[in-house]
Each structure stands twice: as structure tokens, then as C-alpha cells.
Structure 1
Amino acid sequence: MTSTTTEIFDPYDYDFHEDPYPVYARLREEAPLYRNASDDFWALSRHADVHAAMKNDSAFSNRMGVSLDASAWNQDAHRVMSFLALDGKEQTRLRKLVSAGFTPRRVRELAPGVQALTDRYLDGLLAVNEDRGEADWIAELAGKLPMDVISQMIGVADADRDEVRRLADLMVHREDGVRDVPEAGMAAALELIGYYTTMVAERRKRPNDDLTSALIQAEVDGDRLRDHEIIAFLILMVVAGNETTTKLLGNALLHLGANPSQMKDVFTGTDLVGSWIEETLRHDTSTQMLARCVADDIELHGQIVPAGAKLLVLIGSANRDERVFTAPTVFDVHRSPEELAKSMSFGVGRHFCLGANLARLESRVVLEELVRRTSGFEVHADRAVRVHSTSVRGFAELPVTFTRRAGR
């Protein structure tokens, strides 16, 4: 295999989306620095290389954004991706200001609301399950709850939430044969920008206790967020925060469902739910890859990657690197905390995911309540429908049969 053979790794290929992991294994072994000339990118697949690149935003810049797509790769990417598409002092400034509104305390205070939403959606899901013998985990719960949590937090009206989720879904979906953001995705981004522009203007006139108002009021050393910076962060929240948690919840059921003995262990109580979540993040992470812009010519694995090149860091591959993880292809809720800590699903360094605590909170509340109310489930994987995206991995539909616990 040569490192320039396009067929080896095509992030737009629907077959690759079904199971990228054999391709990643070949890349790690045979082409740890891979070159795709057709789509003009390089890729790193080994854990050590991905970790080093993600920590070093001087050499591997976020300034052009984090998306493979050509139309999203530009100096204005921060207007949609917020601080995710900035480096250095600009990134630090914006992240500090956003953090002044999006505080750990605000996340912790969401717990009762997440529990209430979980109870409501589980009631509905289990009712559908009793009526039909199964329920779509995504449609009935996993696709709704993360969006509702974020919408409540930032102040999206109840009546608008389904439409906001539809637009967010369109932004990450990739159409078969289209090697860029589809027109529908571009239109969705513009609609979301317009929606949040109106919402920010309204909050400036009439602030309340939501996150949008908190971001408007946030101040660090006399500095405040500008409107376009708030809007970009709200889009990042609704796309990254919503999509990745939905996919995490779907992937969690798929993989535990494929391992009956581990499911029996998990459903003896709630003690293993945290490990279930962390192993899902490692084994089949929602965010598979991110792009970086190479700042200066750099030598990697005996090749020169030129300044300005687009380089993909393959998180999904790094999390399965046999150099770091024991039996990396095996889903194991009993995997050691030391190994789980090496997962890079939420990033590393200054770009560590600001929403990691929120994603873990939502997943923990949902899956603990599922364990309390049911004694197990069967995933109908043959009828599952995948989301097709270059970066996000998960399901659009996941039919599951649940078994209620006696008395629940």
C-alpha cells in the first residue's frame, strides 16, 4: 500500500462510515502519515501523533477550522465554530469569556432538569416499547434530550426546538457523492445564524437567567463578547453539544447490547454506568476526526508536510491504538481507569472540550435511570440507520426492545 492511494481512506465514503476501524488499523500499521492527494489532506492515525498534534496548536493550527470540507476551511471559520477555530491569545480570550457564562456551577445546576427530561422521555419510550414491542432510542430519547437541555440552557423557545435540531442535523449530514458541505447544510447554517442573531438582540433588550444573557453580561478584565462571538458559540453548542451526546447515547446501547455478559454486570446496579460511558467514548467515539492547518513545513514519519496543508487527526483511530490500549477492538466496561484516561474523545490541552462535563452529566443521568427502570435491552442492529458524516459517528435510528424491571 502506498500512502497516497485514495481508496485506502476516504472520509466521505458511506461504506467507511459503516465501519472505519479496519481502515484505521491499516493506516496505523502501514501509513501512519497518510496522504490523500485527491482531497488534498494528510492524516495522522497513531495515538502518540494525534496527542502531540492536538496539544500543539502553534504547529498544528485551528485557525482554518476543524472540518475537512473545503467550503468550511477558511480564515472565518471561527464565526461558526467559535474558539474551536482559534489559536493562542485569541482562543484563550474567547474561551475565558465564554467560561465566565458557561460555568461548572451552571452545568451542575442542570442536573434536576436533565433528570426531569429523562423521566419524561423514558416514560414515553417505555410506553411505545410496550405498545409495539420496541422503540427507536434516537427518536424517543437520545435525539431529543440533549437538544432540550441545550435549548433550555441557552433560551431557545419550546416551539423552535425541533426546527433548531433539524438545522443542526443538516449541518453535519453529508450526502452520498458530495465531497463538501451540501447546499442544505450551508442553508441550515445561515438559518441558525439568523435565528441566534435575533435571539441575542432580544436578550440585549430583555435579559433573563439563560446562558445567552449570561454570555452577553460576561466580562473579563473589562472585555466583553461581541454579538458574532456569542452567536458562533451558540451554534457550536447546538451542533457539537447536541450531536455528539445523541451519538454517544446511541453508541452506548449498540455496544453494550452486543455484549450480553457485560450488560448483565452493568444492570446489577448503577456502579458501572460511568465506565460504560467512558468505554463507549473510547471504543466508538462520536467525534472521529478533526482538521488542523500545518503552520510551517514539518517532517513527520520521514515525509515533509508543507506549510498550509490540511492535516486530519484521527481520534477514532488513536482510541483504538494497540500501542496504548489492551485488546483495543474489544468493548470492555471493566477496562482500567488508567487506560480510559488516555482516550482523546474530548481532546487534550487548551482545546479540551468545554462541554465534556455536560455530555457526561446527561449520559450518566439517562443511563443510570435506564438501569433503574429496565433489566436490559436488545438492539436490532440490522435495522439501525447510521448518520453519514465525515466527523460525527452514530445513528439516526436505533430500534431497541427494552425489558422493564418488575414494579417499574
Structure 2
Amino acid sequence: MTTTAQLVLDPYDYAFQEDPYPTYARLRAEAPLYHNAEQDFWALTRHADVAAAFRDDATYSNAMGVSIDRSAWGPDAHRVMSFLGMDGQRQQRLRSLVSRAFTPRRVRELAPRVQHLTEHYLDLALRDGEEHDWIGEVAGRLPMDVISEMMGVPEADRAEVRRQADLVVHREEGVRDVPQAAMESSLWLVGYYADMLAQRRARPTEDLTSALMVAEIDGDRLSEEEIIAFLFLMVVAGNETTTKLLGNALFHLGQHPDQAATVFADPADVSWVTPWIEETLRHDTSSQMVARHLLRDVEVDGVVAPAGSKLLVVIGSANRDETVFTDPARFDLHRPQAELSKIVSFGGGRHFCLGANLARLEARIVLEEYVRRVASFEVDHARARRVHSVSVRGFAGLPVTVRMR
């Protein structure tokens, strides 16, 4: 006689973090609106429900934040998560003001600098036949440099800012809340950005921080607290997710030598890089889940999550939904664009990720240059070190050996 193991979604469990996808598949099939009574949260895992939740902020509120952690959940979440911790007109006002400084043009103008940084770090890391740590030497450094240069963080401070940002998202085994180290790092970053603002008031510059200080709509400007919260969000969300995207891209393509051979066939042909990025975003997205506060009852298949509940919108599961994606567990660069257009990796609705274009720009430039330089690569999957985080999925270390062209 066979028995089915109890179905449990515990985002803090290290074993779950190692491979959440079998659990997601069972949740979609057996409990598409799942309740964890012990940790007091609900979860949506089907694509249709997740996509609908992103469009319906009258039901799925951000005002308590996007983190499941008890200490981060509450009406003050916006203090560190900026407009991700707001709804309605408050969210629209803040996002509109921030967008005056964080413009598409500012992102596009970063391309030459991203190219320069890419060439710099690949020059340092890549040696024919030698192993390097893709995260420590390239993927973990470049996104932080890009964000730091946008904000005006001096080069000498960037390694420490990145270390503190890493600690903010790290979760210790057995601790089902924000660890003390993460709280201390959050305070350190807030203090660091407060000092930056004081410096810009005394001596304005051309960077994003100064632009945020003068951003204005009909006389309305951002407060110091609002600017600090946005800078905090940028360094944690913007840096972490792009680093993990670059790591996940090599990890998964490295498991499929036949597809890798297609991508790296011709150094003059980088056309496979965009499908590579989009399939990585679908197959194993950096941002796995975000929390919402229910303002109304939600019913799925006869199960009701009551108003007032904390609910997880599970992006990683939605991107593997078999009713939307063909053979969803397979990493497939040939996946139709019609399917890839349905990924929810950057959210949706009014909270669609403001940094999505920047993340895609960085990933495209880095991986295109990688294809131009590298004939083939091999990932030591057994020695890859995962990040342990409730919501972010990726690697802290990824040993890679390359054969150069």
C-alpha cells in the first residue's frame, strides 16, 4: 500500500528551497488555495489565480508589505519596501514621482556602462580551462555596480553595501522570521542612504539620488523617508534578482548541452540570448513569491480564504502551470513566444516591476558578451551553493569552467 506524504508549503524549509517545484505541482493539483494554519498564511499557485491577483489590488492589498516574515508584515512596510508596501493613490503618487527620476531613458543610457562593466568582469574571470565562481566574480558584482553607479554609491563602498543587502534577504535555518542579522543590515542600509542624502543636499550631483530629491509633480516632492525606502528597495530587489537571474541562466542551460551548443554555435549570432533569458525567467524565476493582505474573501474550488488573511502569490508555481506551459518542468529554449509572453516573473498590474527593463538589459548585455567570448562552459552543479531566502531563488556560489573561443 502506498501513502501520499502530507502536503505542506513551508517557505522557510531549506529542503523546500532546494527544489520547490514538486510541492508547487501538488498544490496546483490538490490545493490551489492552500492554507498553512501553523504559520497563518494562504497561498495561490495556479497561473490564472496568480495573474488575476496581480490585477486586483482591491482584493489583494500591498499595504502590509510583500514579505511573509512576521516582523516585516504590517502598516509600516512601506518604510523599507517603498511603493511595494502601498495601494491605490498612495502607491500611484509615489511610483509616479520615482518614475520622474528612474526613467526609461536613464535605463537605456546605462547600456554603454553595462557593456564596459561586463567586459571588465569577464576579462578578470574568464580563463581557458580554468574554473571561476560565476556569482562571486561576475553575476554578483555587475548588478550592484550598475545600481550603485545609478545611485551614486562610491566604488569603495560597494562591496560592503552588497554584503549588507545579501544579509537582508538571507534566512537562517529554523528561524521563521527576519533574523537579527537581517534587521541590523536593514538599519545599516537606511543609515547609509540617509548620509548619502545629506551629502547630496550639500553638493548635488547628476545621479539618481539627486534626481529623486528634485523629482516633482505639481509641487509635490518625495520626502527623505520615501527616497531612502526606494533606494533600499533598489539595492535589495534590483541587485538580488538580477544576480540570481544570471546565475540561474548558466545553471539551467549547463544541464542541457544540446541547447547550449545551439546558443554558443556562432560568436556572431547572439539571437538565442533573449529566449535563454525569458525561459530562465519562466523555468526558475528569481522572485518566487510575494505576500498580499486580503481585503475581501477569496474562493477557489470551494475553499475560502477570509478577508484579513495573509496570502502568498506563488510566482514560481504559476510559471510552471501545465495548463499554460507545454511540458513545464522542461527547460526549453524553443518554447513558443506565445507561452513566454504569459510569464508572471515581474508581477503585473500597477505593481509590475519598475526594474524589469533594467534586469533584462543587464542580462542581455552580459550573456551576449559571454556568447561572443566562450565556446562552451561547464557548471559543477554538485558544488553550486544556493541562497537561502523565503522569496528569492538563486545561487551564492556557482563554479563554472569555460573553453574560450
Q: Distance in 1 between matches of 2:221 and 2:264?
A: 47
The count of residues paired between Structure 1 and Structure 2 equals 398
Distance 2:167 2:55 in 1: 30
Q: Which residue number corresponds to residue 70 of structure 1?
A: 70
CA–CA distance in structure 1, aligned partners of residues 32 and 145 of structure 2: 40
Q: Which residue of 1 aligns with 2:401?
A: 401
Is the contact between residue 6 and residue 36 of structure 1 (CA under 8 Å) also seen in structure 2? Answer: no
- How much has 1:311 moved relative to structure 2? 0.2
Structure 1 position 304, deviation (Å): 2.3
Q: C-alpha distance in 1, partners of 2:7/2:380? A: 31
Q: How does 1:97-116 map to 2 (within 5 A)?
A: 97-116=97-116
Partner of 1:336: 336
2:396 alignment partner, SS class: strand
- The structural deviation recorded for 1:382 is 0.2
Contact 2:7 2:26 (8 Å CA) reproduced:
no
1:258 corresponds to 2:247: no
Asked if the contact 1:6–1:37 (Cα under 8 Å) also holds between the matched residues in 2, the reply is no
TM-score, scaled to structure 2: 0.97
| Partner residue in 1 for 2:182 | 185
- Structure 1 residues 299 and 108: CA distance shift in structure 2, 3 A: same
- Please give the alpha-carbon distance, in whole angstroms, between the structure 2 residues aligned to 1:318 and 1:345: 9
Q: Aligned residue for 2:359? A: 359
The runs of 5 or more residues in structure 1 that have no matched partner are none
Q: 1:7 deviation in Å?
A: 5.6
2:385 maps to which residue?
385
Matches within 5 A, 1:149-160: 149-160=146-157
Opposite residue 234 of structure 2, the aligned amino acid is: M
Q: Is the 8 A contact 2:63 2:87 kept in 1?
A: yes
Structure 1 residue 52, shift from structure 2 partner:
0.7
Alpha-carbon RMSD across the aligned residues, in angstroms, is: 1.0
Please state how far the C-alpha of 1:303 moved relative to its aligned partner: 2.2
One-letter identity of the residue aligned with 1:272: W
| Alignment partner of 1:285 is 2:282 | no
Instruction: Give me the whole-angstrom Cα distance separating, in 1, the residues matched to 2:296 and 2:355.
Output: 31
Does the 8 Å CA contact 2:62/2:85 hold for their aligned counterparts? yes
2:133 corresponds to = 136
Q: How do residues 228-307 of structure 1 correspond to structure 2 at under 5 angstroms?
A: 228-268=225-265, 269-307=269-307
**How far, CA to CA, are the matches of 2:257 and 2:89 in structure 1?**
49
d(CA) in 1 for partners of 2:91, 2:218: 16
User: d(CA) in 2 for partners of 1:307 and 1:228?
Assistant: 30
- Secondary structure (helix, strand or coil) at the match of 2:126 reads helix
- Give the aligned partner of residue 26 of structure 2: 26
Q: Does 1:167 align with 2:164?
A: yes
Q: Residue deviations 1:199-242, cap 9 Å, x none?
A: 01211221110000000011112111100000000000000000
Residue equivalent to 1:218: 215
Residue 136 of structure 1: how far off its partner (Å)? 0.4
- Structure 1 segments (4+ residues) deviating >2 Å: 296-301
Task: Specify the SS of the correspondent of 2:206.
Answer: coil
CA distance in 2, matches of 1:368, 1:403: 16
d(CA) in 2 for partners of 1:205 and 1:149? 24
Q: 2:306 is aligned with what amino acid?
A: P
Q: Identity rate of aligned residues, in percent? A: 67
Aligned residue identity for 2:342: K
Compute the displacement of 1:301 (Å). Answer: 2.5
Residues of 2 paired with 1:289 and 1:80: CA distance? 18
**Aligned partners of 1:70, 1:205: CA distance in 2, in Å?**
38
Shift of 1:376: 1.4
Shift of 1:300: 2.9
What is the SS of the residue equivalent to 2:391?
coil
SS at match of 1:375: strand
User: What TM-score results when the alignment is normalised by the length of structure 1?
Assistant: 0.96
**How far did 1:8 drift?**
1.7
What SS class does the counterpart of residue 8 from structure 1 fall into?
coil
Instruction: Extract unaligned runs of 5+ from structure 2.
Output: none
Q: Which amino acid aligns with 2:232?
A: I
- Once the two structures are TM-superposed, the CA of residue 244 in structure 1 deviates from its matched residue by 0.2
What's the CA shift for 1:378?
0.4
Structure 1 residue 179: Cα displacement: 0.3
